[in-house]
Structure 1
Amino acid sequence: MAIRCTNLILLTIIANISTALRPNMIIFIADDVGYGDLKSYGHPTQEWGPIDDLAEEGMKFTSLYSTNSVCSPSRAALLTGRLPIRIGVYGKNMVFPAQSPNGLPKDEITMPEILRDVGYATGMVGKWHLGINDYTPMSGVHLPHYHGFDWVGTNLPLSNAWACDETKKHMDAPNPFNCFMYNNETIIQQPFSHQYLTKTFVVEASTFIKQQTEKDEPFFLYMSFVHNHVAMFIGKDAKFTSNRGIYGAGIRELSWGVGEIMKEIQSLGIDNNTLVFFTSDNGGHIELCNEGGNNGILKGGKANYYEGGIRVPGILRWPGQISAGTINSNIVSQLDIFTTFVNLAGGETPSDRVIDGRDITQQILGAMKLKNESKTKKRILFFYCNDMLFAVRYGSYKVHFYTMPVKSKEEYADACGEGGFPNKLYVNCLNCPSDCVIKHDPPLIFNVDADPGEGYQLDPALHKLLLLEVKHFLAEHNSTLIKGEDLLSALNQPSQPCCDSSKPSCSCNYP
Structure 2
Amino acid sequence: MINFMTCVKCYRDIVSRKCASAFFSVPLALLIASCGAEVKSSRPNIVLIMADDLGYGGIGCYGNKTINTPNLDYLSNSGIKFTDFHSNGSVCTPTRAALLTGNYQQRSGMEGVIYVRGETRKLGLDPSQRTIADFLKDVGYVTGIMGKWHLGYGEEFNPTNFGFDEFYGYLSGNVDYHSHFDGSGKHDWWHNSDSLEEEGYTTDLISKHSVDFIEKNKNKPFFLYIPHEAPHVPFQGRNDKAYRFSNNEFTYHGPVEDTERAYREMVEAMDDGIGMIIKKLKELNLEDNTLVFFLSDNGAEEFGHNGGLNGNKISLLEGGHRVPAIAYWKNKITPKLSNELLMSMDLLPTILSITETQTDEKFKFDGIDFSENLFSETNLEERPVFWRYRNQKAARYKQWKLLITEKDTALYNLTEDIIESNNLYHDDNSDAIYLIKQLENWENEVGHADKMLTN
Instruction: State the TM bucket, normalised to the shorter chain.
Output: 0.7 to 0.9
1:150 aligned residue: 165
Identity %: 29
Partner of 1:278, secondary structure, is strand
**165 and 257 in structure 1: CA distance in 2 versus 1, 3 angstrom threshold:** closer
Residue 218 (structure 2) pairs with residue 208 (structure 1): no
Shift of 1:95: 2.7
Shift of 1:52: 1.2
**35 and 60 in structure 1: CA distance in 2 versus 1, 3 angstrom threshold:** same
Shift of 1:475: 4.9
CA contact (8 A) 1:339 1:349 kept: no
Shift of 1:166: 6.9
Shift of 1:454: 0.7
1:305 aligned residue: 316
2:114 aligned residue: 95
Partner of 1:203, secondary structure, is helix
Residue 201 (structure 2) pairs with residue 188 (structure 1): no
The partner residue of 1:47 within 68, 75, 84 is 68
- Structure 1 Cα separation of the partners of residues 313 and 359 of structure 2: 30
The one-letter amino acid of 1:156's match is Y
Shift of 1:243: 12
Partner of 2:274, secondary structure, is helix
CA contact (8 A) 2:316 2:392 kept: no
The one-letter amino acid of 2:419's match is G
1:365 aligned residue: 375
CA contact (8 A) 1:37 1:294 kept: yes
- Structure 1 Cα separation of the partners of residues 202 and 152 of structure 2: 21
CA shift digits 1:258-277 (9 cap, x unpaired) = 11011001100010110011
1:408 aligned residue: none
The one-letter amino acid of 2:196's match is I
User: How does 1:367-382 map onto structure 2 within 5 Å?
Assistant: 367-368=377-378, 370=379, 375-376=381-382, 379-382=383-386
- Structure 1 Cα separation of the partners of residues 159 and 293 of structure 2: 20
User: How does 1:264-303 map onto structure 2 within 5 Å?
Assistant: 264-286=280-302, 292-303=303-314
**178 and 449 in structure 1: CA distance in 2 versus 1, 3 angstrom threshold:** farther
1:320 aligned residue: 331
- Structure 2 Cα separation of the partners of residues 445 and 300 of structure 1: 15
Q: TM-score, normalised by structure 1?
A: 0.73
Residue 151 (structure 2) pairs with residue 130 (structure 1): yes
Shift of 1:340: 0.2
CA contact (8 A) 1:102 1:487 kept: no
The partner residue of 1:453 within 379, 396, 419 is 419
- Structure 2 Cα separation of the partners of residues 266 and 464 of structure 1: 54
Gaps of 5+ in 2: 1-11, 17-27, 33-38, 241-257
- Structure 2 Cα separation of the partners of residues 174 and 151 of structure 1: 21
- Cα RMSD, aligned residues only: 2.8
2:228 aligned residue: 225
CA contact (8 A) 1:98 1:178 kept: no
CA contact (8 A) 2:166 2:191 kept: no
Partner of 2:160, secondary structure, is helix
The one-letter amino acid of 2:401's match is K
Partner of 1:159, secondary structure, is coil
2:245 aligned residue: none
CA shift digits 1:402-456 (9 cap, x unpaired) = 1xxxxxxxxxxxxxxxxxxxxxxxxxxxxxxxxxxx243xx30111121111111
CA shift digits 1:350-369 (9 cap, x unpaired) = 5435411000011111151x
Partner of 1:467, secondary structure, is helix
CA contact (8 A) 2:127 2:162 kept: yes
Gaps of 5+ in 1: 1-7, 134-139, 168-172, 287-291, 403-437, 491-511
User: How does 1:231-250 map onto structure 2 within 5 Å?
Assistant: 231-236=234-239, 244-250=260-266
Partner of 1:53, secondary structure, is helix
Shift of 1:250: 1.2
- Structure 1 Cα separation of the partners of residues 442 and 450 of structure 2: 18
Deviation larger for 61-70 or 474-483: 474-483
Larger RCO, structures 1/2 (Cα 8 Å, 6+ apart)? 1
Partner of 1:460, secondary structure, is coil
Residue 207 (structure 2) pairs with residue 197 (structure 1): no
- Structure 2 Cα separation of the partners of residues 474 and 114 of structure 1: 30
CA shift digits 1:265-324 (9 cap, x unpaired) = 1100010110011011110011xxxxx311012101111110000000000011122102
Residue 387 (structure 2) pairs with residue 383 (structure 1): yes
CA shift digits 1:104-158 (9 cap, x unpaired) = 111111010000001111011111110011xxxxxx11111000001112x1110
- Structure 2 Cα separation of the partners of residues 349 and 484 of structure 1: 29
The partner residue of 1:393 within 386, 393, 396 is 396
2:442 aligned residue: 477
CA contact (8 A) 2:167 2:190 kept: no
Give the number of aligned pairs: 401
- Structure 2 Cα separation of the partners of residues 211 and 485 of structure 1: 45
Partner of 1:327, secondary structure, is strand
Partner of 1:141, secondary structure, is helix
- Structure 1 Cα separation of the partners of residues 94 and 183 of structure 2: 24
1:141 aligned residue: 156
- Structure 1 Cα separation of the partners of residues 332 and 275 of structure 2: 20
- Structure 2 Cα separation of the partners of residues 119 and 282 of structure 1: 31
2:55 aligned residue: 34
The one-letter amino acid of 1:110's match is T
